[in-house]
Chain A
């Protein structure tokens, strides 16, 4: 059992468990799965600055911050305590393409160190991948009214056509970055 837990989990184990989070949140407290809202609550709690969109009773949504804190702890337990292979077993084609197109050489870790190590903040890579990337995620998710959890999982599970539009847009953005902008950057 412990051996299984240490291995990377296959999609058919992880996907259904992620899906079960939707009814679990509904059954324990009538909450809709959605993670990007936590970013808004933190802004409302820390720097509301008189902005109407940040002036609301964020304390009523504090469950969301507990959930997100849990995700952080889960990352620690899943990666550090249970342990995980140092290199993610991505397909050979992806490795080949990333070597050729993005000049990556170090394939260890959850994220490429050549792009996401803090030292990269001294060059353009850190500013594009860490700062601009994070900014676009925070700006875009709130503008879209949800992220992968709120729209793709929660929204599509509840047959919301708005969420289908959002998920298609997520992919349009992701494909544009991967296929059009990455080749310009590297």
Chain B
């Protein structure tokens, strides 16, 4: 069960998202209205810790627990970065959820999250089908 470790890490991640209320529509509204530091503090401190960690991994040439090289692929730019990004932003403010929180919401017992996830799957599928016709 080499995938079990990802399940365990996902559980921890989901608990943090839930207990810090990142999964709450109210918190996302508060963020987009600039009425609380909470979400900015979470995203900002997460980036700082992630950045320091990645630097430590790179500078010390750390390997995975199985001795593999660690390499992080660069993100590639295309027009989708800003067009798709804006479309996601519109949906983020509507649903109050990015993809991770949708799954946590479902687990927490919010029935509507099942509809959100199905609709998000439909969105991803539609993008996949139209991909060649969209500006890139």
Interface residues, chain A, with chain B CB atoms under 8 Å away: 5, 8-32, 35-36, 38-40, 42-43, 47, 49, 51-54, 62-64, 66-80, 82, 84, 88, 90-91, 93-94, 97-98, 107, 109-112, 115-118, 120-121, 126, 128-149, 151-163, 165-179, 181-182
Q: Could you say which interface size class chain B belongs to?
A: 35 or more
Known: A43-B121, A121-B115. 16 other contacts (CB 8 A): A15-B49, A74-B11, A74-B12, A74-B18, A78-B104, A82-B15, A88-B24, A94-B36, A134-B115, A141-B88, A142-B84, A142-B127, A144-B81, A145-B84, A161-B77, A170-B88
Count A-B contacts at CB 8 Å.
507
| Chain B neighbourhood of A12, CB < 8 A | 41, 45
Q: Of B23, B74, B96, which is within 8 A of A160 by CB?
A: B74
A-B pairs, 6 with minimum CB distance: A74-B14, A173-B89, A70-B10, A143-B84, A138-B123, A169-B85
Majority SS at the chain B contact face: helix
The residue of chain A having its C-beta at the shortest distance from the C-beta of B88 within the complex is A140
A33, chain B: closest CB distance, angstroms: 8
| Chain B neighbourhood of A42, CB < 8 A | 121
B75, chain A: closest CB distance, angstroms: 4
Q: Of B74, B88, B111, which is within 8 A of A136 by CB?
A: B88
Interface residues, chain B, with chain A CB atoms under 8 Å away: 2-33, 35-39, 41-51, 53-54, 56-57, 62, 64-66, 68-78, 80-100, 102-112, 115-129, 131-132, 134
